Amino acid sequence: MSSPSSNKKVINELLVEIFNDILQIEQNALKEGVLNDLSITEIHTIEAIGMYNSRTMSEVAQDLNITVGTLTTAINKLVKKEYVERQRGEEDRRAVMIALTRKGKLAYRIHDKFHQTMVEETINGLSKDEEQVLVKSLEKLNTFFKSNYHLDSK
């Protein structure tokens, strides 16, 4: 039977390795796939815009925890690459609305499929109880990061 300290060491190693692997896999998938003109940051911006509704620049910037100025730079690149379109709000002409183009929606779906597959493989073979323990553990970790490192919850 493993000791509590060896379990902690294994958990630490796994968390670090998983975090690094996910980033590396996402970067490689982008470089080698049909989305090879997108960065991880751009994919996450596309994800924050969402598939179905136009959103304001302020809403998306808040979700990404960045300034509207920083988002504007990213959106300019995504518009140029034809993943995003912007338009003026119908009610408030000062508001800038952004939405995914057809190409942007394709990028969203491809990235979403990666995450769905990752989650399916994570829970595949687990009992309902084991799944609940995993969820509870990840929630605790998430709460720890948000409360100790002043991250906004989404």
The per-residue pLDDT for range 123-137, each reduced to its tens digit, is 999 999 999 999 999
Please tell me the distance from the alpha carbon of residue 91 to that of residue 112, in angstroms, as a whole number.
32
C-beta atoms surrounding 84 within 10 Å: 24
98 pairs with which residues across the strands? 55, 86
| Secondary-structure breakdown of the chain: helix, strand, coil percentages, each rounded to the nearest 5 | 65, 10, 25
Find the length of the chain: 154
Q: Give 153's DSSP letter.
A: P
pLDDT, tens only, 7-31: 889 989 998 998 888 888 877 877 7
φ and ψ of 96, to 5 deg:
-100, 120
